[in-house]
Amino acid sequence: MGIDIIGGPGRSHLLLVATGRQGGAIGPAEQHAASRLRSPAIARSQRPVLALAEHAGPEVAGGGPDSRKGCFGLRIGRCSRPLAPLPEAKTSLPPGCRSCENSPLDLLATPWRDLPVHKSLDYLVYMLVRLFICVVQAIRMETGQVLADWLAWLACDVLRLRGKVVDENLEHAFPELDRAERRSLARRMWRHLVLLVLEVAHVPRKIHETNWRQHVRLRNVAPLMRAFLDDRPVVLVTGHFGNFEVGGYLLGLLGFPTHSVARTLDNRYLNDFLERFRGATGQHLIPKKGGYDQILEVLGRGGTMAFLADQAAGPKGCWVDFFGRPASTYKAIALLALEHDAPIAVCYARRLDRPMRFEMVVSEIIDPRDTRGEVATVKDLTQWYTKRLEEAIRVDPDQYWWVHRRWKDPRGRRGRAARKAAA
């Protein structure tokens, strides 16, 4: 792999382009070159920030020397002068990469002020989010709890955010509660959501391999560990309960990488930032749109897939009982587990007595080989894990997302249209 440095001490940016080896990784020579760019002399003159961007665009037909897979770009820093001209940068790439729509150079080698309007707005939103995270990380968790109490009161009692949806969900799930008790539970839910954001911002800095035992308590994880050590794939099921983002982070930290499905954000900068956070310990993301083949590949090689299983699946979903009401649930989770002979485990990470203290729980794990027909169908298996999630939520209901419309009309849009026509 060759290395071309575009720009230099007199330029505002240095762009290190590693080319020539298809599908390979950055080698010792490239790492040495990158380390030289971190030298104090360059740091004093340009304040560089080193970023490695893997370019994995689709391969062109026939592959060969024009294959686009496996190109890497290294971007160094930013200051006030113009960047190296984009044509000059692209000439150092293999021919197949120069015209690739996924080329990172179009953004990496373009000042933000010269980006199209929508990309400039996306970058502005991204910067505001990063600034917000910096502020949150500077807040002590004790102060964060006071802030969470205040914001929960503001969201629940003043702004009444999603108030009708939350109250309706709680009324059906807990009919024994009166209006004042439902309002109190809704306020605690908003407090939990604020703390969840604070924890997500603090976790990468405060929980690591040497101190995780001070923050995490494990319960009933032995069956899951045995499943992880087997050659068969594993399907993890959780919901919008507790701190599910931290749950994925902790699993990776313990040495068990997972793959989860998520919608790609429209804002490319925020999407890349979220992927970096989730991927820090091995939580790999698969795009919701067009990612089915990747899911099959993960399960086919004995990997672990994690799913949020409490989202409404629409009129064509699998209708099962959830808190005494029919709820549409995605069939694919149970179908994949049965087709790939994968043990399926219901697990979650909930907050304990204070922020940054979690309990990772494996509620139950079931093996399609040992069920003896108890959950032999997709609907039976879907009802099984939905019931396990409900049991966990009932223990600590204020840590569940009551803000989303989990229950919808079983007859869907056509049913509503027919009723309107009949009226």
Q: What is the pLDDT of residues 300-319, one digit of tens each?
A: 999 999 999 999 999 999 99
Beta-bridged to residue 259, according to DSSP, are 284, 305
Residue 254 lies in a domain: yes
11/147 same-domain check: no
**239 phi-psi bin (left φ>0, alpha ψ -120 to 50, beta other):** beta
251-285 burial string, b = 16+ CB within 10 Å, else e? bbbbebebbbbeebeebebbbebbbebbeebbbbb
* Same domain? 174 vs 222: no
3-state helix/strand/coil string of 136-156: HHHCCHHHHHHHHHHHHHHHH
pLDDT value at 10 more than 70: no
Same structural domain, 163 and 219 = no
Looking at 59, 90, 110, the residue that finishes a domain is 110
- Contact at 8 Å (CB) between 253 and 212? yes
Task: Give how many domains the chain has, as a whole number.
Answer: 3
Would you say residue 420 lies in a domain? Answer: no
Q: Are residues 248 and 390 in the same domain?
A: yes
Residue 379 lies in a domain: yes
333 in a domain, yes or no? yes
Beta-bridge partners for 323: none
Instruction: Name the pTM for this structure.
Output: 0.71
Among 171, 203, 235, identify where a domain stops.
203
CA-nearest of 196, 164, 240, 267 to 397 is: 240
Q: What average pLDDT does the segment 9-16 reach?
A: 37
According to the per-residue pLDDT averaged within each range, which of 19-23, 213-217, 248-252 is highest? 213-217
Residue at 364 is within a domain: yes
Model pLDDT for residues 152-193, shown as the tens digit of each residue: 999 999 999 999 999 999 999 999 999 999 999 999 999 999
Asked whether residue 421 is domain-assigned, the answer is no
Nearby residues of 341 by Cβ (< 8 Å), 6 or more positions away: 232, 368, 369
pLDDT, averaged across the chain: 77
Q: Does any domain span residue 422?
A: no
Q: Does 125 lie in the same domain as 47?
A: no
pLDDT above 80 (res 297): yes
* Bridge-based pairing state of the strands 14-19 and 69-76: antiparallel
What pLDDT, on a 0 to 100 scale, did the predictor assign at position 375?
79
Among residues 110, 144, 169, which one ends one of the domains?
Answer: 110
- Whose CA is closest to 15, among 109, 91, 82, 101? 109
409: pLDDT strictly greater than 50: yes
For residues 142 and 270, membership in a common domain is answered with: no
197, 218: one domain: no
Instruction: Give the total residue count for the chain.
Output: 423
DSSP 400: B
Residues 348 and 263 in one domain: yes
Least-confidence region, from 127-141, 146-160, 280-294, 360-374: 360-374
Q: What digits encode the pLDDT tens for the residues 195-249?
A: 999 999 999 999 999 999 999 999 999 999 999 999 999 999 999 999 998 999 9
Same domain, 125 and 105: no
Task: List b or e across 165-183, with b for residues whose CB sees 16 or more CB atoms inside 10 angstroms.
Answer: ebbebbeebeeeeeeeebb
Do 175 and 27 fall into the same domain? no
Element (H, E) at 396: none
Closest by Cα among 274, 256, 255, 257 to 265: 274
Range of the domain at 316: 207-412
Q: Could you tell me if 56 and 190 lie in one domain? A: no
Same domain assignment for residues 93 and 52: yes
Which token pair is 385?
């894990």
Confidence band (pLDDT; 50, 70, 90) for 372?
low
Three-state SS at 234: strand
CA distances for 29 relative to 17, 23, 41, 91, angstroms: 13, 17, 20, 21
**pLDDT, position 279:** 84
Residue 71 CA to residue 92 CA, distance in Å, equals 11
User: Is residue 273 situated within a structural domain?
Assistant: yes
Contact 236, 333 (CB under 8 A): no
Asked if residue 244 lies in contact with residue 308, where contact means CB atoms within 8 angstroms, the answer is yes
* Residue 414, Cβ density class (10 Å: 0-12 exposed, 13-18 middle, ≥19 buried): exposed
- Report which secondary-structure segment, H or E, holds 18: strand 14-19
- pLDDT, tens only, 55-113: 333 332 233 333 333 333 333 333 333 333 434 444 444 444 444 444 443 444 445 45
